[in-house]
Amino acid sequence: MAAVVASVVTAVPGTAHAADNLPPEQPLVQDLRTNSEPCATGDAPAYVATEPFVTAVLRDPVEDDQPSEANMVSGEFEAWWTDASGAEQRRTYASSYPLPSGTAQRWQLPPDVPADTVVSWHVRANDGTAVSAWSSEGAGAACRFVIDRVSPNAPVVTSEEYPADQYRDGVGVYGSFTVDSPSPDVVAYEYGFVGGPYGTARPAEPGGGATIRFLPQRNGPDYLTVRAIDRAGRSSTSVYHHFFVNAGRAPVAHWKLADAAGSTSAAAEKGTAARAGT
């Protein structure tokens, strides 16, 4: 009789499922996020402005699916780093309740995670009977991030064509504005002129300056507002570069183009006549 019950199956018309449970699948690195950004691994950690939330899509094998039964898994997260004394610190979190397979599960990192320190994290799935491999095992990798709590310094704005607080020509004359923050981790400058345009200028490398081109469409006072953005997404205070635009240079010459057919020149209302072919 013992031999008869050693292998048990549940029978449903047309199907058969082994009673043995399969462990959940190992979480994939491409299914992991630090805040909303993809998992950063190796020597290129993500930079974040504060303690992030981390997210993982967890799955149980489809072979474990049972008729009229949800396939549920929960998440077990771990984060670790080396403190100033050289000791490893580790924090853990387990989901409060399981969720259907294929659902994203998340953990808000605790407030004692230090800034300016590389923090690693990984996750595994638990179906209540068995656990998966950690996402960092085998061909996987640990996700890494650094908390940056310091905002960048405000940029300095200079322009040869439109220096601060001066009138310059003018409408229809392009100007270049150089923006540069002394902070070494700035990756973008967000800017806007009165009435537009608005945009983002990016330096060639972190910490560098950038150039903004602008064509005034009207005379009078104007200003450029700029703020620096660092790699953690932190923003500097905004700076304002006020300048004044003249009405523009008067035309050197003006032609009505009302000359008789066959004329080889165009009479000028102002300036010299224009000759064909010149």
Q: Are 207 and 185 in contact (CB under 8 A)?
A: yes
- 260 compared with 16, residue with greater pLDDT: 260
Residue 9 has pLDDT above 50, yes or no: no
Q: Identify whether 197 is preceded by a cis peptide bond (ω within 30 of 0).
A: yes
Residue ranges making up the domain that contains 96: 21-147
177 shares its domain with 128: no
176 shares its domain with 213: yes
133 shares its domain with 185: no
28 shares its domain with 123: yes
Q: What is the mean pLDDT of residues 257-270?
A: 68
Residue 85 has pLDDT above 60, yes or no: yes
Closest CA to 64 of 32, 100, 98, 31: 100
Residue 63, pLDDT score: 73
Tokens of 64: 């474990």
95 shares its domain with 140: yes
Report the amino acid identity of residue 98. P
CATH of the domain at 179: 2.60.40.10
Count of domains observed in the chain: 2
pTM: 0.77
> Is 268 a domain residue?
no
Residue range 14-69, pLDDT digits in tens: 333 345 778 999 999 999 999 999 999 999 999 999 999 999 999 999 776 665 56
Q: Mark which of 88, 114, 147 sits at the end of a domain.
A: 147
43 shares its domain with 132: yes
92 shares its domain with 26: yes
